[in-house]
C-alpha cells in the first residue's frame, strides 16, 4: 500500500511534465485593406472555415498563407447579383447600365465580374470580359482581388470557403495583445515566407495577369499554389485573363496543391489560342486576344 501511494506521488509530477506543449506562435505578415502591412503573431490556435464539403478547423500552426475575400453587406451583394444578371440582357442599354452600376460599386464587385467571364451564357461572358478590362483600367492603382472565397494555404492543401471569425486575437511588440477585424484584412502569410519571397522579388498570386497586360517583354515572379478550378485559355501561351494557378498545372510547372515560386513572362497577344487537356486541366480555345503569358518553374540555383 505504501509503495502504491509512493508511486502515485512520484508519477503525478512526471505526467504533468510530459504534457504536450502548445506549438510556438509564429510571426505573420498581415496586409490590410488600406494597403499597409504589419508583422504580428496570431494567438488563435485554429481557424474555422466553412467549405462546400463541410466545416473544417485548421490549426494555425499549419497555416502558411490566408487570402481573404471582401466582407460585403447583403444589400451590396444583391445589387451586384442583379447587375451581373443584366450583363446578359438582349438590350444594349441595360448591359451598359449594369456595367456602370458595377463600376460604381468598385473593387468589391470585381470577383463577381471575373466569375461572370466564365458564364455559359455567351453574351454575359463577353460583356463581363470587356467590363473586367474597364475595372483594371479604372482601378489600376489598386490590387484587385478576383476570388470571392477565403482561401487558407497549408503545406499540403489549399482550402477555399468562408472563415467563420469576425476578428483575430493578435499580439505585437509595440501594443501587446489586441483584436483585429477580419473585415480589415486582405491577406496573411508567414513572415519567414515573406522574406524569402522578397529575396527573389516574388509576389503573391494575382489570380490572373490582366493587371500586367501592358508589360509585354517583362517577367515577374509569383508564389503560386497549383489548382484545377480556374479557367484557362490557350496551350503554353495563355491569355492574360487565364487563372495563373490553373495554367501552371496545365503547363506542368506545378502539381495540384503544390506551392512554389514560378516565373511568368508577359507576351504579345495572339490571333488564336488552342485548347488541350493536360494534367487534369482542360483549357479553352479563344480567338484574338491583346496579351498573353507563359509560365516556367524557377530553378533553385536562380533564387
202 sits in which H/E element: strand 202-204
Which is the CATH superfamily of the domain at 200-302? LCCL-like domain (2.170.130.20)
Give the DSSP per-residue string, 127-192.
HHHHHHHHHHHHTTTS------SEEEEESS-EEEEEE--SEEEEEETTTEEEEEEGGGEEEEEEHH
Q: What is the pLDDT of residues 95-115, one digit of tens each?
A: 999 999 999 998 889 889 988
Q: State the pTM of this model.
A: 0.53
CATH topology (fold) of 74-138: 1.25.10
Q: What is the pLDDT of residues 165-184, one digit of tens each?
A: 999 999 987 788 999 999 88
Residue 175 cell numbers, joined: 501594443
Domain boundaries, the chain: 24-69+147-198, 74-138, 200-302
Residue 107: the pLDDT is 86
Amino acid at each position: 500500500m505504501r509503495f502504491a501511494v509512493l508511486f502515485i506521488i512520484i508519477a503525478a509530477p512526471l505526467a504533468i511534465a510530459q504534457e504536450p506543449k502548445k506549438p510556438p506562435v509564429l510571426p505573420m505578415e498581415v496586409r490590410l485593406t488600406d494597403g499597409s502591412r504589419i508583422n504580428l503573431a496570431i494567438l488563435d490556435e485554429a481557424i474555422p472555415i466553412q467549405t462546400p464539403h463541410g466545416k473544417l478547423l485548421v490549426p494555425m500552426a499549419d497555416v502558411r498563407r490566408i487570402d481573404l475575400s471582401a466582407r460585403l453587406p447583403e444589400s451590396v451583394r444583391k445589387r451586384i447579383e442583379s447587375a451581373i444578371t443584366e450583363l446578359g440582357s438582349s438590350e444594349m442599354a441595360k448591359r451598359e447600365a449594369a456595367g456602370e452600376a458595377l463600376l460604381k460599386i468598385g473593387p468589391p464587385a470585381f470577383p463577381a465580374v471575373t466569375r461572370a467571364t466564365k458564364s455559359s451564357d455567351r453574351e454575359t461572358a463577353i460583356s463581363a470580359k470587356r467590363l473586367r478590362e474597364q475595372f483594371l483600367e479604372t482601378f489600376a492603382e489598386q490590387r484587385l482581388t478576383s476570388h470571392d472565397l477565403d482561401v487558407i494555404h497549408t503545406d499540403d492543401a489549399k482550402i477555399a470557403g468562408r472563415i467563420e471569425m469576425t476578428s483575430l486575437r493578435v499580439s505585437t511588440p509595440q501594443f501587446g495583445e489586441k483584436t483585429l477585424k477580419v473585415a480589415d484584412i486582405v491577406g496573411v502569410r508567414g513572415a519567414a515566407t515573406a522574406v524569402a519571397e522578397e529575396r527573389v522579388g516574388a509576389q503573391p498570386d494575382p489570380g490572373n495577369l490582366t493587371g500586367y497586360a501592358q508589360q509585354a517583354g517583362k517577367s515577374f515572379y509569383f508564389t503560386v499554389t497549383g489548382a484545377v478550378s480556374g479557367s484557362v485559355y490557350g496551350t503554353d501561351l495563355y491569355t492574360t485573363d487565364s487563372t495563373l494557378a490553373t495554367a501552371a498545372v496545365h503547363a506542368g510547372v506545378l502539381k495540384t496543391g503544390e506551392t512554389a515560386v514560378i516565373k511568368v513572362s508577359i507576351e504579345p497577344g495572339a490571333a488564336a489560342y488552342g485548347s488541350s487537356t493536360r494534367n487534369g486541366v482542360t483549357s479553352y480555345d479563344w480567338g484574338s486576344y491583346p496579351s498573353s503569358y507563359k509560365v516556367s518553374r524557377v530553378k533553385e540555383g536562380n533564387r
